[in-house]
Amino acid sequence: MNNATLDNKSSLEPLIRLMDARVIAIEFDLVLATALFEDLTEYQFRPIWPPSLLLLAVLANNETRGIRHGLSEALEYLKSCTKIRRISIQRNTKEFIVLQFDADGQVASFHLLRPLSQIPSPYELSEFTSIENLPFRVRSPGRALAPLSALTFKQQARKIVDCLLKGDRQALFSIVPMMVVLGLSDNCNHACTFCFRHTNPDYHRAPHSIYDESSLTSILLSASKLGVQAVRFSGEGEDTLNPNYLKILLLSRAIGLNVLQITNGTRNLELAPIIARTVDFLRVSINGWTPTNYASKHGLDSYDALNKTISGVRRIVDERTKVSSHRIAVCISSVIGQKDLESFRPMDLKEVIKGCAADIALLKYDGECSRYLNIQPNIQPWRMHTDGQHVISEVPEGFISLRTACAAICPEVVSETKSHNNYEPVRNWIEELRLGCILRYVRAEVERGFLYSCSVRHDCYGALSDGFSEVWDSTARKSFLADDLRRHLLICEGCGWRDFFSLFNCFIDEAIREANAPFDMNMWG
């Protein structure tokens, strides 16, 4: 039997080992832990991480992930134990895992349900550029879909169309959201000059917080049980500052959620091996292209910060080559204002892109009239009208030139912004069917302990202290949807998700064509 002992050069090494190979058991003694793998090799390490985190690393393994039921009870039991001798996987099938604890002088077993059919298909990086069978070209459609594939959204569109064909209002209102948008922290260690945290004079009057482990765990476990397929970690601060960030990443992976993370890159260098194994789509904000400019735009004192951020992204890109079962898509984004166009050199951005070796460079123009909303012309933000025409955001020529100059460096920097000259008009099904804001059937937003319809908090569905699934299934939420149908609610002016509306409208159109069945446009009365 082969043995390996860690000298603790890397504190993340035990977690990486547990995620990369199928584990049969972990045994604990006074100073060491021993992991036994399926091929009967052993690996010894100092248990500097709590047993619950080690267990999540085991369950985040590609051979065990996707647990939808039973994990909350197992974690609660583990939390109550004082002396743990052994954690073992007694059985691992395509549908369930039998987990056994030998602790405090007794043995306890838990059945963890693992329906593989509920694990979402992986995010397809190729879809960032194009999606098959769209009637017109939408630039960078995958930005709106991440971290889920187009196939997953098409399946959601079919569910909606099926409810419409049956005229079943309650079934429509009960459709489970595909993803949850969740912020882990309201605190931030950067002070970006364009960020709403600094441009909105009222923001700092609100209490800031880092959400506790118990609340976050409860939200994710409850959402997973309900059937949610993805989580977007994107809030009002820097999520990686949450002291429980590592555990939340491992938990999300273990329960089968696809993960999108938006970050300023503060901890990328430190956590690269874990991020590369748990996140499906990573977006890192790099808003300055020289050390001096980066420090200025991010509100930092250190001129070494840019190099550290680039090194962190590059390490994640390098780390993913070691992972055969999972591939993270890496994106860097940069907000570019009018003053930047006057002073920034394309060559500086090219060097940043080359240094990061990212898959995607997302350049966003932030004009004077869009202080609170970053217009992203590379994804063609447009508004649907009944005549099928599009409204294209105008951007200065300097931005187009800058983007074109960088296109040869990064695999995905979209070139010129052009209006759609050749396309097949798609009926505005979302408006004709009076569905209102389609985001209400696709995602849910968690802010400060409450569940909302979207990031601007139009409808507050309820307090999550009552439970995620309970709030989603509540009469109050369904009443909001019924009111929206009666009011014939349209897309909000200035909505940052217009590109998503156009895509999902195409998916609904495709589902209606597949159904090949007529239905009453006035079915809602």
CATH class as words, domain 190-422: alpha beta
In this prediction, residue 212 has a pLDDT band, given cuts at 50, 70 and 90, of: confident
- What pLDDT sits at residue 135? 64
Q: Please state, in angstroms and rounded to a whole number, the distance separating the CA atoms of residues 101 and 128.
A: 43
463: Cβ contacts below 8 Å, ≥ 6 apart: 449, 450, 451, 471
CA distance 41 to 47: 18
Asked if 316 contacts 275 with a C-beta cutoff of 8 angstroms, the reply is: yes
- Per-residue pLDDT of 114-130, as tens digits, reads 988 888 988 888 887 77
C-alpha pair distances (Å), 44 with each of 48, 103, 512: 12, 20, 57
Q: Which of the four pLDDT bands, split at 50, 70 and 90, describes residue 351?
A: confident
Cα(205)–Cα(402) distance, rounded to whole angstroms? 38
Which band of pLDDT confidence, cut at 50, 70 and 90, is reported for residue 182? very high
- Tell me the pLDDT of the chain averaged across its residues: 81
pLDDT of residue 520: 61
Which residue did the predictor score with more confidence, 467 or 376? 467
Domain ranges of the chain: 13-118, 190-422
pLDDT per position as a tens digit, 456-496: 666 788 888 878 889 999 988 888 888 777 665 555 655 66
Omega of the bond leading into 147 within 30 degrees of 0 (cis): yes
Q: Per the confidence metrics, is the pTM higher than 0.85?
A: yes
Tokens 């940069």 belong to which residue?
334
Is residue 249 over pLDDT 80? yes
Nearest to 236 by CA among 467, 457, 494, 469: 457
Q: Which helix (H) or strand (E) holds 506?
A: helix 498-515
DSSP class of residue 291 equals: H
Give tens-digit pLDDT for 398-424. 666 666 666 655 555 543 333 333 345
Please state, in angstroms and rounded to a whole number, the distance separating the CA atoms of residues 217 and 255.
11
Distance, in Å, from the CA atom of 451 to the CA atom of 461, rounded to the nearest integer, reads: 5
Reading the block at residue 255, the tokens are 């329960």
Q: Determine contact, residues 380/392, Cβ cutoff 8 Å.
A: yes
Residues 6+ positions from 224 with CB-CB distance below 8 Å: 67, 68, 255, 256, 257
CA-CA distance, 177 to 148, in Å (whole number)? 12
Q: Which of 97, 121, 94, 127 is nearest to 109 (CA)?
A: 97
pLDDT per position as a tens digit, 267-286 = 999 999 999 999 999 999 99
**Tokens (6 digits) for 74:** 């197992």
Q: What's the confidence (pLDDT) of residue 377?
A: 33
Task: Describe the crossing of helices 498-515 and 150-166 by its angle, rounded to 10 degrees.
Answer: 60
pLDDT of residue 523: 56
* Model confidence band, residue 376 (pLDDT cutoffs 50, 70, 90): very low
Q: Taking the mean position of all CA atoms in its chain, how far away is CA 8?
A: 31
> Is the confidence at residue 56, as pLDDT, over 70?
yes
Cα-Cα-Cα-Cα dihedral sign, residues 276, 278, 282, 284: negative
